[in-house]
Chain A
Amino acid sequence: MGDVSEPESDEEEAETDGGVRAYTVRLELVDEPGELLRALAPIADNGGNLLSIHHERGNITPRGHIPVEVDLESPPERFDGIVDALRDAGVNVIQAGAEHYGEELNVILVGHLVETDLSGTLSRIEDEADAVVKDLSLAAPDGTDATASARLRLAIDSGRTEHAFETIRSIGADKELTVVEPLTGGEA
């Protein structure tokens, strides 16, 4: 592989409020005990926050390695450092960048959004639904302690849409929020 330490700069998304971006790193690990843990340590040590790990044990590469896909978020300026640290630790990085998130979809949440801890709701969506909240618009015409609506623009891993929305539905049910999902598939 060539130089992959640069994230796809020509498709750079706007930064989220906290200055954190989501990235996907594809690694190939040797099939040995402790290898996964060793590969993940440099991410956390360099300011990355692990979102999810797809460990495809059954799917061995032609070179006999196990492909692992790691979703993480970090401030953009620290991402290069994470990839360098992985390489320094002897981990084979085959692809790095944010282009992996195939689908951007909107969802609208309705209810007592502020009282039910909006930022907590967003964190749960990111943690449990494997989605990245790219953008948020809030409309609270009757004040923040009344019913409000929020539109979330989500980046969802291709093929994980159904899982993501199932999870968002259950978070909505927990918090008594109405979830208005996009109609996906077909010619809507």
Chain B
Amino acid sequence: MRLAIAGAGDVGRSVADLAGEYGHEVVAITDSAGAAVDADGIDVEGALERKVGGKPIGSADPARAFETDYDVLIEATPTTLGDAEPGFTHVRRALEADRHAVLANKGPVAERYEELRALEADSAGSIRFEATVGGAIPVLSTIEDCTPQAVTAARGVLNGTANFILTRMAAEGLDYEHVLAEAQDLGVAEADPTFDVDGTDAALKFVILANVLADGGFSLEDATVEGIQDIPGSALELAAEDGRTIRLIGEASREGVRVGPRLVPENGALAVTGTRNIVQLETKHAGSLHNSGRGAGGPETATAVLSDVGRLPDR
């Protein structure tokens, strides 16, 4: 397939880097300042070198990416809330041109799911978005394999930063502020970790899960969300006295979405440590399934994007 990649952050760059290995060709990659476009395949290495060197990724107008002959748009611009722009418009342009779109950007799928599905219904192209939930972990494809009707709920840990902070607090008996600073030094937490620690990032992923289970109907404002900023070390100590610990747990079902700090058994499946993520699917006929792994990172998320590309029907 010929890929046009919108967004040249960690994920967009990793998709470009790994596309060849998966048998695909990159015909365009854009960032906010420019684009590299070539219908015969761009020079990926040169484009990534320019980007990493602080230069625009290419000299073309980003809009040109949509005019070239591509099969799949990879939407990997930063997640935005509300109208989910510019990601939503990118996907709309692809579908209106009867191209496929694979999203790593959570915004459009969490905030405007029904509109996306309506555009898809009118298009010869399809959308896929495995990379929006749990990075490398196959969550949505597992639900698809089980058929969504047979999955009653999804629960688990889908934010590595919050999980790292809670793990360190429990292990070292340190307070939130201290561990957050450490996580920032290690590059685990961003300079502005707000969406990770206040539950928003996890909530977007569980909203997407609820949309898949219920075939739409949810956006971020329908979710009940609490973060971990107010959890002191003493709460984790009390939890440990009883063989429990605290994790930022999300729950998605056809009834709603909830994210907040919860008590879970210390040695239970959901008490993953460090930046690891886990999703538990409750099925109608087969009990629980657990999928665990790396929930973030450029190459990790890119593998989910490229697996989606492989699942697309031929155009």
Give A contacts to B, CB under 8 Å: 106-108, 110-111, 137, 139-141, 147-151, 153, 178, 180-183, 186-188
Contact = CB atoms under 8 A, between A and B. Distances in A.
* 8 smallest beta-carbon distances between A and B, as pairs: A139-B234, A151-B238, A149-B235, A149-B234, A182-B263, A183-B262, A178-B230, A187-B288
A106 B230 contact: no
Given A108-B238, A151-B241, A183-B264, 14 more contacts: A108-B235, A108-B246, A108-B263, A110-B232, A139-B235, A147-B232, A149-B234, A180-B231, A180-B239, A180-B260, A180-B262, A183-B270, A187-B288, A188-B264
Interface string B276-309: 0000101000011000000000000000000000
A106 B242 CA distance: 9
Describe A's contact surface by its main secondary structure: strand
Contacts of B249: 183
Contacts of B262: 180-183
A151 B261 contact: no
Interface of B: 153, 155, 226, 230-235, 237-239, 241-242, 244, 246, 249, 260-265, 268-270, 280, 282, 287-288
Nearest to A187: B288
A110 B230 CA distance: 8
Nearest to B173: A141
A153 B241 CA distance: 12
Contacts of A137: 238, 241
A149 B263 contact: no
A148 B269 contact: no
A183 B263 contact: yes
Contacts of A153: 242
A148 B233 CA distance: 10
B241 A187 contact: no
Nearest to B153: A186
Contacts of A141: 232-234
B234 A188 contact: no
Contact of B239 (A108, A111, A147, A186): A108
Contact of A183 (B155, B230, B231, B282): B155
Q: Max chain A CB contacts within 10 Å: which of B230, B231, B262, B263?
A: B263
A151 B239 contact: yes
B261 A149 contact: no
A11 to B, nearest CB: 20
A106 B231 contact: no
A186 B250 CA distance: 13
Given A180-B261, A181-B262, A183-B263, A188 B269 contact: yes
B237 A187 contact: no
B193 to A, nearest CB: 18
B235 A110 contact: yes
Contact of B287 (A140, A181, A187): A187
A94 B42 CA distance: 82
B231 A110 contact: yes
B155 A178 contact: no
